[in-house]
Structure 1
Amino acid sequence: MSRRSLDETLSFIAAIDRAGSPHAVSETVLSVVRPLGFTQVFAGIIPVPGMSAQQQLSNVVLHHWPDQWSRRYFSKGYLFEDPTIQRVTSSTEPFLWSELEASCRDDASAKRVMAEAREFHLGFGFTVPMFTLDGQSAGFSIASDRGELPVHFRRRLQLLAMYSFGRALSLADTPPPVKLTPREADVLQWIAEGKSDWEISRILHVSEHLVDKMARHIRSKLGASNRTQAVAQALRLRIIR
């Protein structure tokens, strides 16, 4: 990295550190990528199949994206048809959206998502796959109707994306506290450690049916669609460790 590039990177990091909101983070990112033609930024944790539109939206971290497109995207479940999401969950290498064209050729659903995105001037994009500390897939994308991205800028943008995403996560509104009973917390802790309902029932001296019932209550309180998601959410909220 040249001295100029290093100085610019350090300046960007300092600006991100000063950002007081996710919106400010987005604006700082766009100040860097606008000269390349990018006008939109979006980042979030990848939801698991079965999540409602509301739950999917709750995973959004940065949103400088056309609102109409977001409403259509989440209400129609496009997230699970989007080829960029499929790539994010299967590879850690950053990519241009144009690199997905060959894999979309025989996938009508994927082609539809990409075609409709172009209606909202999102035809040219670059995505950086990431992982959160609790192992969830995440993606950071910049986009526009047209633009350019020199090869040498990719790695630099990968660093900027990861730093921006981390800062936005730290600035996200803290969700209301989730109150579990001591017994529910015990059940969730044992689920996190991979115990079956039968094993938990033996450990806690309760029926297997009660363990299952409590697990469902826990999922409901955490807004989780399955036990794995409930554990991930509880870890994020430090309800369990």
Structure 2
Amino acid sequence: MEGAFAIARQFAERAFHFDSQAELASGLEACALELGFSYFALLHHVDLRKHWQRMIRIDNYPAGWTERFIGSRLFLEDPVFCASLMTNIGFPWDSIGKLIRVSRTQRQILEAARREGLNCGFTVPAHIPGEAHGSCSFACASARTFSHDCMLAAQLVGSFAFQAARRICCARCPLRLQAVQLTPRQRDCVELVAQGKTDWEIAMILGLKEDSVTKVVDAARRRYDVANRTELVVAALFDGQISFNTVRHWQYQFAPCSSVNSRTSR
């Protein structure tokens, strides 16, 4: 798409100066139209029925679809939300089947969205440690194939738009600026707690005394101000202090595209 990068660059420059959600929404809507999209949605992937001060939700989707999407809790199984968890770069909606196994309910959600005018789209995931997952989606009323330049431009716009929304949200309701920082020893112990190890086992693995392990874990718990070890593990995973891969050693097993597509078409 000729001029797509110029459009994205112009939006990125303006994004640093948006002062309100209304201003961001207006700028994002104009940018989306220039890129050939009819709609946009900038969202945290949370329970959209609730109105949290720190929640990002800015969109111009058709009112009928928004009401149904939230009222019927379609966000719980939304295939776009689910697919965005499997990648850190933008993706067109017609490639969702390559990222997740689309269930019957999810196919019905996509079809219902098409009937409301959200025929095809492109979604940019947003994964920030210590915050809810989110995304910036662009949608079209009619079917189209996105050019490479258009998708790259949408990736840039979506990323800058989400960051602008976070900045505006911080100004309205200050967010924690950074995750709690565990010491290396605390991180080692919390990882082993997450693996189900007892304090005695952790002591044997790390060459410590059992009561020393207990003190280290309790110190980590106090840093997060949580009541028990389960909350500590959840908080540390959420903040990125420890990773799922170190807690449980496994890898994603991607099936060939043909076999995935054959299953999702049933």
User: Could you tell me the TM-score, scaled by structure 1's length?
Assistant: 0.64
Shift of 1:56: 8.6
Alignment of 1:24-173 (within 5 A): 24-47=23-46, 53-54=49-50, 59-100=55-96, 107-134=103-130, 137-146=133-142, 148=144, 149-172=146-169
* Percent of aligned pairs sharing the same letter: 15
* Aligned-residue offset at 1:230: 9.6
Change (3 A) 1:105 1:175: closer
Q: Contact 2:84–2:135 at 8 Å: present in 1 too?
A: yes
Q: Secondary structure at the match of 1:166?
A: helix
Alpha-carbon distance between aligned partners in 2 of 1:230 and 1:55, rounded to the nearest angstrom: 25
Deviation at 1:115, TM superposition (A): 1.7
Equivalent residue of 1:172, what SS?
helix
Q: Please identify, of 193-202 and 53-62, the stretch whose mean Cα deviation from structure 2 is larger.
A: 193-202
Contact in 1 for aligned 2:190/2:233 (Cα 8 Å): no
Letter in 1 for 2:17: R
Counterpart secondary structure, 1:54: coil
How large is the Cα RMSD of the aligned pairs? 4.5
Aligned counterparts of 2:125 and 2:142: Cα–Cα separation in 1: 21
Query: Is the contact made by 1:121 and 1:145 (CA closer than 8 Å) also made in structure 2?
Result: yes
Distance of 1:126 and 1:63 partners within structure 2:
14
Question: Per the alignment, in what secondary structure is the counterpart of residue 124 of structure 2?
Answer: strand
Number of residue pairs aligned between Structure 1 and Structure 2:
210
Q: 1:227 to 1:77 in 2, by over 3 A?
A: farther
Kindly provide the CA deviation profile for residues 132-159 of structure 1, in whole angstroms up to 9, marking residues without a partner as x: 1447532210113126432222112211
Contact 2:40/2:139 (8 A) holds in 1? yes
Output the CA distance in 1 between the equivalents of 2:77 and 2:70: 11
For residue 183 of structure 2, what is the aligned residue in structure 1? Answer: none
Q: Is the 8 A contact 1:94 1:129 kept in 2?
A: yes
Q: Is the 8 A contact 1:127 1:141 kept in 2?
A: yes
1:163 shift after superposition:
0.8
Tell me if the contact between 1:104 and 1:111 (Cα under 8 Å) persists in the aligned partners. Answer: no
Kindly state the Cα deviation for residue 100 of structure 1 after the two structures are TM-superposed: 3.2
Task: Work out whether residues 123 and 138 of structure 2, in 8 Å CA contact, stay in contact via their aligned partners in 1.
Answer: yes
Query: Are the structure 2 counterparts of residues 228 and 8 from structure 1 closer, same or farther at C-alpha, using a change threshold of 3 Å?
Result: same
Cα distance change, pair 42–9 in 1 and its aligned pair in 2 (3 A): closer
Is the counterpart of residue 20 in structure 1 residue 19 in structure 2?
yes
TM-score by length of 2: 0.59
* 2:262 aligned partner: none
Match of 1:38, SS?
Answer: coil
* Cα deviation, residue 9, structure 1: 3.7
- Match of 1:209? none
Cα distance 1:64–1:228, how it changes in 2: closer, same or farther (>3 A)?
farther
Provide the secondary structure at the position in 2 that maps to 1:92: coil
AA in 2 matched with 1:111: R
**2:234 is matched with which residue?**
228
CA distance in 2, matches of 1:5, 1:228: 41
Contact 2:7 2:35 in 1 (8 A): no
